Structure 1
Amino acid sequence: MSTPTIAAPPAPRASTPSPSAPLPRAGARQRNATRRSWPGWKQVWFQLHWFIGITAGTVLMIIGLSGATISFKDELLDLMNPGVRHVAVETRATLTPGQLASMAAAEHGQRVASVTVYAEPGAAPRVLFAPKAGERRGESIYVHPYTGATRPALQGAGFFEWTESLHRWLLLPREPGRQVLGALALCLLGLALSGLYLRWPRRPLDWRTWLTFDPALKGRSFLWNLHAVIGTWCLVVYVMLTLTGMYWAYDFVRDHIDAWAGKPPRTAQAPAKPGQAREKKPQAAPVVIDTTVAWNAFRQRAGAWTLATVRMPSRAGEAVQFTWLAADAPHDRARSTMAILPADGQITEDKPYGQQGTGSRLVSVIYPLHMGTYFGLPGRIIVTVASLCMPLFGITGWMLYLGRRKAKRAVAAQRAMLGAGAQGAHVSALPTLVAYASQSGQAERLALESARALQQAGVPVDVQSLDQLTPSQLSQYERALIVASTFGEGEAPDGARRFARLLGDSKAPELRRLNFGLLALGDRHYTEFCGFGHALDARLRALGATALFPLIEVDKHDAQSLADWSQALARASGSPIDAIGHQEAASYDAWTLTRRVLLNAGSQGGALYEIGLSRPTGRQWEAGALAEIIACNIDGSEGLDAGGSAPHAPRSYSLASMPQDGELQLLVRQERHQGDTNGGYGVASGWLTQFAPIGSAIRLRLQANPAFAPALTDVPCIYIGNGSGLAGLRSHLRARRQAGLARNWLLFGERQRSVDSVCAQELEAWLQEGHLARLDRTFSRDGEPREYVQDRLRSAADELHAWLRDGAIIYVCGNLQGMAAGVDAVLLDALGQDGLDALRAQGRYRRDVY
């Protein structure tokens, strides 16, 4: 019995809800019927699956490997013992079973219970002696078919007996060992069925969904795909091995099956306990009965056969019992039986396999199914390979489990660093609040680094995100240091919008006891540079708070501004502070421009290009990440504008591909403007889409984007975007596809279907294969009234609510002022302000808009 753990899906991120059951495939707009799923049940099954997998699964690996070892035991023994069980074929006749029994009994002084002979020329017969007192089974030897001489003992036989005992009883005493194996078989059945349920695809009749393995995957996605897909390949074999193994594990199972098959009840065959052995009687000389007449009658009646076991009578008058395998038998346990009187050859019983009852024949296939011999050599190979795969499932299951633990520890470690630093702080002092409002994660990183620096200086701190804070809670502190990003044109980051709204309310509490310092992050190429930081500074002052120092602005990791922040922290703490943000200025790599393809020739909007870049060795990223690029001038000069004065500010683009795609892909809208500056093209878009020669180096660095992090767990996801915003959504959908997660709904808007059907072939293929549960594409210039993506979302409000009830995460990528604002308004109408705030607080409304 060989067994695996199957299909452990990847673990949820800290910011995502628990997994839920898959939604039915809805398809296009018209196919919008949904059914309720049961996220609680799926989470329960997932927890049971991994718990059983990392406990019983470890022992099941031993069962699998030992089962594989004994699958080809006979062949291996023959390789290790050439000439023992097969001798040179001679022209003379072989000895009869009776002659072999007489010679073996005389040589070894024991009664022969049975002799098994083979029709294959040169095959050595096997002689089995009667068991001695207190034993269940007697010894066996192989003898020469032409001389009757005892063959040498098989080298390695002891190892295979030990391995079989390990496989059947885990080297425990027989009875408790069988009970343990039965429990493990039930665990395996639970793993198999729960694994099947956990990875049940949206299109179950599509074999590619079940059996396709992508070797190009990396990391956790590779492990999950290997675990789930190979597990599906082996699933039927493992269920078959489990169910057949339970026949021998539990007496009540075997007794019920045997009774149904019409077999007589079994008698206890366990050896007598110590002290209870039957009294030994003087051993009489073995009785030798001539079975030649019975043997000749059997050969005449049986026809063609491959092996025959002859059970020798123990006393005069008993019939000789024959169990034999016909040459045309359907499997190796399709045995016929015959009883013949040795004196006159009269046949008293003849039960060919084909004439036995249906129940008996069904019971006879249990062992061949378990060993794979029912399907011949291919079946044996399949069972052996499936057994050898057992470590793969155990190891990948453990790696997935440890990966989840490692990710959780990494998150806890960041907080623990703060907690450890607090031990050296003056515990009697009130803590300083270090708060942050972050969109891409930069503000959070700077806040954590600032908090650690303060702790090292002996200042106790509390670290909070503004999305978890209220003005009333803020009023409890005497000192606060805030790192605030600005999103879009002067707006608060998504997570801080609730706090900003409450702070701006007329009922907001006074903050007269609060002293604060503020670090505002922004980008000068936006009109409202550090707009949210300035608005927050003004509102805190209006509520009576006192600024510790003037607001500090940071433009795209400006080192001097970060140094000013470090000095301000030093003054606030009264101790030297190491430079904050020195890790932010990561160097730019040289990526090679390999291709650019115009995707929307003839579009009313700006030209949209797919840009391909070959990556430096070792560069990895996750879905939702950004590429920060420094453009060159038309003539290829780096870093300075056309006038040769100020450096070009870096531009950020959403990544449209995954590392497994073999290149970094961007979707870049070519910006055009009036004037001669840069030839009338946008600085970065013009360089990427028009001027940079193919094969040239592009200065680029990858930037993590935690606020737009992917959900690589089994939760439904709604992706909404327009134009070049498809880039960020495409990387998410590709990552979800690599992870086997198909509960995805894409709403995408453009101008005209005829020329703006960007990536249409890829999207339609995803829809057909079930990776997209629903695809809604709107084209605003194709009819009146114009329909935009937010309009399509509003019309699908019922399905939106159903997906959100199932724990869906919403991702928005594209234009801030048009599409993103429209989507925000639809969600506000559908959920109300409190509902929308809750969605943001749960990390289920993630935006990458510009």
Structure 2
Amino acid sequence: MKKLWFQLHWFVGITAGTILILIGLTGSILSFREELLDFLNPGVRNIAVQDAPVLTPPQIAAAAKVLHPEARIASIIIYSEPGSTARVGLAPAKGETRGEAIFLNPYTGALLPPLHYDEVFEWVDSLHRHLLLPRDAGRIALGILALCLLGLSLSGLYLRWPRRVGDWRAWLKLDFRLKGRSFLWGLHSVVGTWVMLGYVIFTLTGIYWSFDVVRSTVDGWLGVSRVVREAPAPKLPKGGKPPPVDLAASWATFEGAAPNWRMAFLRIPERATAPLQIVWTAKDAPHVRARGRMSINQQTGAMLKNEPYAQMTVGGQAQASFYALHVGSFFGMPGRIVMFLCSLALPGFAITGWMLYLNRRKQKRSAAAERKKFAAGGAVTADADPVLLAYASQTGSAERLALQSAAALQAAGVPVHVHSLEKLTPPQLVKYRRALFVASSFGEGEPPDAARRFNRLLHTAAEELQHMQYAVLALGDRNYAQFCGFGHALDARLRTMGAQALHPTIEVDNGDTGALARWSGTLHALIGGDAASAPEMALSAAVADNDYTNWRIVGRTLLNPGSVGDGLYEITLSGDPAADWRPGALADIWPGHYTPADAPLAAQTPSVPAASPGTQATLAPAVISLAPRRYSLASLPGDGVLQLLVRQVRYESASGPALGLASGWLTNDAQVGDEVRVRVIANPAFDTYTEARPSIYIGNGSGMAGLRSHLRARVQAGERRNWLIFGERQREFDSICAQEIASWRAAGMLPELDLVFSRDVTGGEYVQDRMRVRADVLRDWIADGAVLYVCGSLQGMAAGVDAALEEMIGRAALDDLIETGRYRRDVY
């Protein structure tokens, strides 16, 4: 159903949306028509206030008659505000459809300059109301467009319905850190939510005016009948003279019945025996269209009918308010400004909608080209043991990467089946022993539309997948709080069903080259060949070199000398003094002299585990595209430097022991003073919570980096209720950042502190073990609204923390922490 609504949404959007641009632009112009006319015509509708009595309508009529003795006065509009001029409408001359309108000085009756540009606004009004078509045809066309806009508004709301319905940020927050398609989607959907109520009002009132059947039905519901024109005045006998008109008596009657009038519109009938019609608004009227009506005998001044707005029925007042709702004046100037912005936003929706549509088409064409290449690569025999390569794609990016990956496997002789999750079911998964998933996330970590059915079936499936090995490549945008949310949810469910992960989920942030390089390693593991025989795996991704800036190494300190584990170094960089970042931010580092331009080059990497039982235990080093390495920032901008905590990675290569490409260069090969190419990246999923709350920081190893930046920010802000639960190997050698932690503790910034060591001679303990020991206190902190931050290794620590929390507070409560953003993780 959602896919159908999506197809209807974009089809109507790129067709009717083009015409709605005109409606929006003309509506925004007409929103302030009166103010624009006054600006373009100074001294016509308003003049300086004078210390003199204001002319009454009879005097205004007499002055107009002097100026135009041959013309009949058809209407007079006057205002009680000082300085407002009088407008006199003259009956059209013979053969014309519209009469002239003149403006008179309210104090002297002198003729004022004509009102210029009013014809332009009349043309704009006709375009807005009727598309310059004949009146009836134009009304119907506008009614159809109003229905289209109503459908776009409601279907858009349905399509972007967030997972966290109760979180206002998910509905209304526009993140300006997003880029590319993610920013366009946020602009289109979030701003659409802002203005949706305005569009509903626009469309419902427009439909009311466009279709007679709708108008008569609504009027019936409101108990209001159409205004019946007064019966024509009786004809005088041949040769008879009409009784004299006494406009002064009629005006006196009006003022006696409406002493608080603000505007009076006198319609003077052609026949002297017909009643004078006056439409008026009171000074305390709720809006400009809250008008009353009077009928007065022109000869005697006797009241024939008086219907003030305040005495109308509720239905009558509602009907009279439709126009005021449409233009926003029902809510005064703020309402008019809001409706003006809503009108002005319509072209923006058409433009962003078209851009999203064209981007989607581009991705689909690219995916189709990859599918064609894959199909040309050859067929898989029926008795082969194929790898399942499944994808969940919203725009086509995941499909394209899945097909590129499949083509690489196929070229190396590995049988592969490619399927969209749209048509896959859990029973079909059972048939495969090896599976790769390329999963996009939509919005705040939700599955793409095509994968919603599979996601629902998988979470209710009873199948066991102990025989399956799998890997997940999760595509997302790190600026979303639930970064790669669907990929992680898919990974968690597959683990629950017994499947064995080849490695932690690989997160791809907007085509991140480093993540795609690690995915290439997964593919090489499945191939099982050596680097020389393996085909090149050119997965499409690029990072612009101008996203990086030069920093200089100014310090390197080994934090755990003597440790049984690999060395953990504090790397200090100095560079751009204007650089800014939030606690929990990340940095991409290019090792050595490499730059993004070198990305296609190959580099040796550690051997990877076998992909399936029966293959060799280790493979020859795989050829992986050179890519930056990502680290958590351990400092704040106010520190004046950029600090990292880097674990030195060691592995066995064909030529013997070797260091990791980036960690080895940073911790061993580089010299103090060497330059480093750095890109600082926001990490909203691990950013500071929006409110000041108690905070619990949990981590291990190099995860101290992300925790330290948060704790430094809390200390600077004077937030005292902090709790650090941190694990390492041995207290004697691995008490990293001990002096800084001790100073926080002494200053009362760490009222709770738990440091645990897994390989101490006195007995090992992990962070999840200490959490269980202190479960009661943890529950109390969480009940007080605490936010939990977890940083460190995904395997072991992060999974153990998840399990411990689920035991302590239950799955539902843990899910609620995740949904409300109070459980934040930066794990790797």
Class of the TM-score when normalised by the shorter of the 2 chains: 0.5 to 0.7
The match for 1:66 is: 26
8 Å contact from structure 2 (residues 290, 317) kept in 1: yes
The match for 2:284 is: 328
The match for 2:35 is: 75
Among candidates 396, 416, 427, match of residue 467 of structure 1: 416
Q: Distance in 1 between matches of 2:793 and 2:53?
A: 89
Q: Distance in 2 between matches of 1:356 and 1:82?
A: 37
The match for 2:13 is: 53
1:630 Cα offset (Å): 5.0
The match for 2:484 is: none
Equivalence map 1:589-668=2 (5 Å): 592=551, 629=591, 655=630, 668=646
The answer to whether structure 1 residue 356 and structure 2 residue 316 are counterparts is: no
CA gap of 1:124–1:45, structure 2 versus 1, over 3 A, is: same
Among candidates 210, 215, 237, match of residue 254 of structure 1: 215
Equivalence map 1:400-479=2 (5 Å): 400-413=356-369, 466-468=415-417
Letter aligned with residue 42 of structure 2: P
The match for 1:98 is: 58
CA gap of 1:345–1:266, structure 2 versus 1, over 3 A, is: closer
The match for 1:834 is: none
The match for 1:379 is: 335
Letter aligned with residue 80 of structure 1: L
- Larger relative contact order (Cα-Cα within 8 Å, sequence gap ≥ 6): 1
Letter aligned with residue 211 of structure 1: L
1:65 Cα offset (Å): 0.7
CA gap of 1:753–1:409, structure 2 versus 1, over 3 A, is: farther
Among candidates 669, 680, 688, match of residue 647 of structure 2: 669
8 Å contact from structure 1 (residues 631, 684) kept in 2: no
1:170 Cα offset (Å): 1.2
CA gap of 1:139–1:462, structure 2 versus 1, over 3 A, is: farther
The root-mean-square deviation of aligned C-alpha atoms, in Å, is 6.5
8 Å contact from structure 1 (residues 309, 322) kept in 2: yes
The match for 1:220 is: 181
After superposition, give the CA deviation of every residue in 1:345-366 in whole Å (9 maximum; x if it has no partner): 3333333221211111111111
Q: Distance in 1 between matches of 2:40 and 2:522?
A: 81
8 Å contact from structure 2 (residues 590, 627) kept in 1: yes
Q: Distance in 2 between matches of 1:326 and 1:148?
A: 24
Q: Distance in 2 between matches of 1:610 and 1:44?
A: 54
Structure 1 unpaired stretches of 5+: 1-40, 270-281, 423-434, 453-460, 471-490, 497-525, 538-550, 555-560, 567-578, 618-622, 633-638, 641-647, 703-721, 731-748, 759-778, 793-812, 824-848
1:163 Cα offset (Å): 0.6
The match for 2:617 is: none
8 Å contact from structure 1 (residues 340, 348) kept in 2: yes
- Which moves more between the two structures, 177-186 or 288-297? 288-297
Equivalence map 1:815-826=2 (5 Å): none
The match for 2:663 is: 685
1:414 Cα offset (Å): 5.3
The match for 1:573 is: none
CA gap of 1:294–1:300, structure 2 versus 1, over 3 A, is: same
After superposition, give the CA deviation of every residue in 1:118-175 in whole Å (9 maximum; x if it has no partner): 1123322222345689998655333343454554432211111111111111111111
Q: Distance in 2 between matches of 1:678 and 1:298?
A: 105
Q: Distance in 2 between matches of 1:536 and 1:168?
A: 66
8 Å contact from structure 1 (residues 630, 700) kept in 2: no
The match for 1:179 is: 140
8 Å contact from structure 2 (residues 571, 666) kept in 1: yes
The match for 1:519 is: none
CA gap of 1:310–1:580, structure 2 versus 1, over 3 A, is: closer
Structure 1 vs Structure 2: percent identity of aligned residues? 41
Q: Distance in 2 between matches of 1:585 and 1:371?
A: 48
After superposition, give the CA deviation of every residue in 1:42-95 in whole Å (9 maximum; x if it has no partner): 222222222222121121111111001111111111221222223454555444
Letter aligned with residue 137 of structure 2: P
Q: Distance in 1 between matches of 2:215 and 2:61?
A: 33
Letter aligned with residue 367 of structure 1: Y
What SS does the corresponding residue of 1:306 show, helix, strand or coil?
Answer: strand
Q: TM-score scaled by structure 1?
A: 0.52
Equivalence map 1:4-403=2 (5 Å): 41-101=1-61, 104=64, 107=68, 109-130=70-91, 139-148=100-109, 150-265=111-226, 289-403=245-359
Among candidates 653, 656, 675, match of residue 697 of structure 1: 675
Q: Distance in 2 between matches of 1:251 and 1:242?
A: 15
The match for 1:278 is: none
Q: Distance in 2 between matches of 1:316 and 1:294?
A: 13
- Which moves more between the two structures, 319-328 or 173-182? 319-328
Letter aligned with residue 675 of structure 2: A
1:673 Cα offset (Å): 10
Q: Distance in 2 between matches of 1:242 and 1:151?
A: 39
CA gap of 1:355–1:494, structure 2 versus 1, over 3 A, is: closer
Q: TM-score scaled by structure 2?
A: 0.53
Q: Distance in 1 between matches of 2:650 and 2:176?
A: 42
Q: Distance in 2 between matches of 1:61 and 1:601?
A: 64
8 Å contact from structure 1 (residues 438, 493) kept in 2: no
8 Å contact from structure 2 (residues 572, 644) kept in 1: yes
